[in-house]
Amino acid sequence: MALDVTLNSLGIAKPPAQTRVVVAMSGGVDSSVVAAMLKEEGYDVVGVTLQLYDHGAALAKKGACCAGRDIHDARRVAEAMGFPHYVLDYENTFREAVIEEFADAYLAGATPVPCIRCNERVKFKDLLATAKDLEADCMATGHYIQRKTGATGPELHSAADPNRDQSYFLFSTTAEQLAFLRFPLGHLHSKAETRALAQKYGLPVADKPDSQDICFVPNGNYASVIEKLRPGAADPGEIVDMAGNVLGRHRGVIHYTIGQRKGLGIGGLEEPLYVVRLDPLARRVVVGPKESLSTRIVPVREINWLGDAPLSARPEWHVMAKVRSTRAPREAVIRPVSDSAAEVELLAPEDGVSPGQACVFYEGGSSRVLGGGWIWRGTR
């Protein structure tokens, strides 16, 4: 007798009512719509929200995720739609896995991306483990990215809406995690569609603004956060040119980023100068002309590879590579050093490539994400 293996909308061979889905709820409109949509489809939905940093301080802060007000909003959505909701205290985990490294990376002259580490070390690791403890069949999030079934298993693809695509921030999602994760919004073509769904379900967060800042950095002021975490981090020092000539003084290396031009306080020169390197040990900010920012060779490590064959199976891979979240992918060649490290050659040089940023790989002519890694030093 043939078995009925009809798959539900999440690709699982069970009726929705028998399929438990843990939804990672940040309190924003995206994850709220995911939870409401799956509940309406008849799934056994369990909402989970992580409290990531001080509850009292977070209550008054707008425009972040995983703060006090957002926990309250997630709970309201769960109550309105009639499914259970849990809040997990992950303050210590978040501080150790994300905030401390963020501070150390800045002090080392890098430009970190803490949202990637949060997805990698907290949401898609600890929260995913909690979902399995709750005997869930899968975990769903409100991220704008697509999961598609390929010849060798689940594949990661960029979102249908390029303006909302979050693939740069999710490159470290492993194949094992991808088997358990679902992204129900990835196929939508605009945020307006998401908000329309929120209105349809009568959600109290339908008109809630999107979060903009890094959640633990009020008003985008990185330096103030670093100073609190690492007293003495804002010690002043010298601004020097590439030959080591002193051009002026700075107010602390943590106030500067690679590629910065404004706010250097060294006017009156014949050509504009840009920050090309940070030397935290010597407390120096190194500046140079715009062309000195151009980078063609980018060393990348901690690579998470999602291709069908191992990274080291070929001497080189021709891909599209993205070195900043705000930039379009460009043609590149990956030359593996091992299964987790490579030298990436950008066929057209890029300006302002910075250690601490991610380099994410895409298949040419396709929306498929092949993985990515961390830029750890630049060779110009």
**Residue 24's CATH number:** 3.40.50.620
pLDDT more than 70, % of the chain: 93
In a domain, 74, yes or no: yes
Give the tens place of pLDDT for each residue, 133-162: 999 999 999 999 999 999 889 999 999 999
> What CATH number corresponds to the domain at position 248?
2.30.30.280
In sequence order, what are the residues at sequence separation of 6 or more whose Cβ sits closer than 8 angstroms to the Cβ of residue 69?
A: 27, 58, 59, 60, 61, 62
Domain co-membership, 175 together with 71: yes
More confident residue, 278 or 220: 278
What is the predicted pLDDT for the residue at 1?
42
Q: Which of 270, 288, 306 is the last residue of a domain?
A: 288
> pLDDT category, 213, cuts 50, 70, 90?
low
In a domain, 229, yes or no: no
Domain co-membership, 88 together with 205: yes
Domain co-membership, 147 together with 196: yes
Count of structural domains within the chain:
3
Domain co-membership, 205 together with 81: yes
Question: Which residue range forms the structural domain that includes residue 342?
Answer: 294-375
Q: Which of 288, 307, 324 is the last residue of a domain?
A: 288
What's the whole-number mean pLDDT along residues 106-111? 79
More confident residue, 59 or 285: 285
In a domain, 225, yes or no: no
In a domain, 6, yes or no: no
Domain co-membership, 76 together with 184: yes
For residue 378, give both structure tokens: 């630049």
Residue 165 scores a pLDDT above 90? yes
> What CATH number corresponds to the domain at position 353?
2.40.30.10
Domain co-membership, 76 together with 126: yes
Mean pLDDT of all residues belonging to the chain: 88
CA–CA gap between residue 128 and residue 134 (Å, rounded): 10
In a domain, 7, yes or no: no
Residue 195 scores a pLDDT above 90? yes
For residue 281, give both structure tokens: 């040990």
What is the predicted pLDDT for the residue at 345?
97
Domain co-membership, 334 together with 365: yes
CA torsion 169-171-176-179 (nearest 10°) is: 70
What is the predicted pLDDT for the residue at 378?
47
> pLDDT category, 380, cuts 50, 70, 90?
very low
* pTM score of the predicted model: 0.88
Give the tens place of pLDDT for each residue, 350-361: 987 888 899 999
Give the tens place of pLDDT for each residue, 300-335: 999 999 999 999 999 999 999 999 888 899 999 999
Residue 364 scores a pLDDT above 50? yes
List active site positions: 118, 215
Domain co-membership, 205 together with 246: no
